Amino acid sequence: MTVTAGHNIPNRSPLMAFLSRWLLTTNHKEIGTLYMWLSFVLFFIAGAMAMVIRMELFQPGIQFAEPLLYNQMVTMHGLIMVFGVVMPGFVGLANWQLPLMIGAPDMALPRLNNFSFWILPFAFTLLISTLFMEGGAPNFGWTFYAPLSTTYGPPSTDVFIFGVHLMGISSVLGAINIIVTIFNLRVEGMTLMKMPLFVWTWLITAFLLVMVMPVLAGAVTMILTDRHFDTSFFAAAGGGDPVLFQHVFWFFGHPEVYILILPGFGIASQIIPTFARKKLFGYHSMVYATASIAILSFVVWGHHMFTTGMPLIAELFVMYATMLIAVPTGVKVFNWVATMWRGSITFETPMLFALGFVILFTIGGFSGLMLALVPADFQYHDTFFVVAHFHYVLYPGAIFGIMSAVYYWLPKWTGNMYDERLGKIHFWTAIIAINMTFFPMHFLGLAGMPRRIVDYSLQFADFNMVASFGAGMLGLTQVLFLYIVIKTIRGGKKATGRVWEGAEGLEWTLASPAPLHTFETPPKFPTPEEDYPRD
**Per CB under 8 A, which of residues 113..132 are in contact with other proteins?**
none
Residue 159 interacting with other proteins (CB under 8 A)? no
Under rule CB under 8 A, how many of the chain's residues touch other proteins?
131
Residue 133 or 516 having the CB closest to other proteins: 133
Among 10, 14, 239, 528, binds other proteins (CB under 8 A): 239
Among 17, 45, 244, 480, binds other proteins (CB under 8 A): 244
- DSSP 3-state assignment of 450? strand
Residue 331 interacting with other proteins (CB under 8 A)? yes
Residues 6+ apart with CB under 8 A from 107: 28, 95, 98, 99, 113, 177, 178, 181
Among 12, 16, 37, 151, binds other proteins (CB under 8 A): 151
User: Active site residue: 21, 277, 451, 452, which one?
Assistant: 451
Distance CA 444, CA 448 (A): 6
- DSSP 3-state assignment of 140? coil
Residue 379 interacting with other proteins (CB under 8 A)? yes
Minimum distance, C-beta of residue 463 to other proteins, in the bound complex (Å): 6
- 3-state SS, one letter per residue, for 271-320: HHHHHHCCCCCCHHHHHHHHHHHHHHHHHCHHHHCHHHCCCHHHHHHHHH
* 106 flagged as catalytic: yes
Residue 344 interacting with other proteins (CB under 8 A)? yes
CB under 8 A: which stretch of 316-324, 416-424, 478-486, 508-516 binds other proteins? 316-324
Q: Taking every pair of C-alpha atoms in the chain, what is the biggest distance, in angstroms?
A: 73
Residue 294 interacting with other proteins (CB under 8 A)? no
Residue 134 interacting with other proteins (CB under 8 A)? yes
Residue 242 interacting with other proteins (CB under 8 A)? yes
Residue 126 or 345 having the CB closest to other proteins: 345
Residue 186 or 412 having the CB closest to other proteins: 186
Residue 240 or 513 having the CB closest to other proteins: 240
Minimum distance, C-beta of residue 15 to other proteins, in the bound complex (Å): 35
Residue 312 interacting with other proteins (CB under 8 A)? yes
Half-sphere exposure of residue 153, counting CA atoms within 13 Å on the CB side?
28
Residue 158 interacting with other proteins (CB under 8 A)? no
User: Active site residue: 329, 339, 488, 496, which one?
Assistant: 329
Give me the torsion for CA of 217, 223, 225, 231, rounded to 10°.
Answer: 120
Distance CA 332, CA 277 (A): 18
Distance CA 398, CA 293 (A): 16
Residues 161-220 that bind other proteins (CB under 8 A): 172, 175-176, 179-180, 183-185, 210-219
Judge whether 22 and 534 are in contact, CB under 8 Å: no
Distance CA 141, CA 145 (A): 8
Residue 533 interacting with other proteins (CB under 8 A)? no
Among 37, 122, 320, 428, binds other proteins (CB under 8 A): 320
Residue 363 interacting with other proteins (CB under 8 A)? yes
* 483 flagged as catalytic: no
Minimum distance, C-beta of residue 61 to other proteins, in the bound complex (Å): 5
Residue 428 interacting with other proteins (CB under 8 A)? no
Judge whether 276 and 343 are in contact, CB under 8 Å: yes
Distances (CA, A) of 339 to 74, 275, 286, 363: 39, 10, 12, 20
Residue 466 interacting with other proteins (CB under 8 A)? no
Judge whether 356 and 396 are in contact, CB under 8 Å: yes
* 329 flagged as catalytic: yes
- DSSP 3-state assignment of 65? coil
* 54 flagged as catalytic: no
Distance CA 93, CA 265 (A): 13
Distance CA 284, CA 192 (A): 11
For the annotated catalytic residues, the residue numbers are 77, 106, 142, 170-171, 254, 256, 258, 269, 303-304, 329, 332, 451
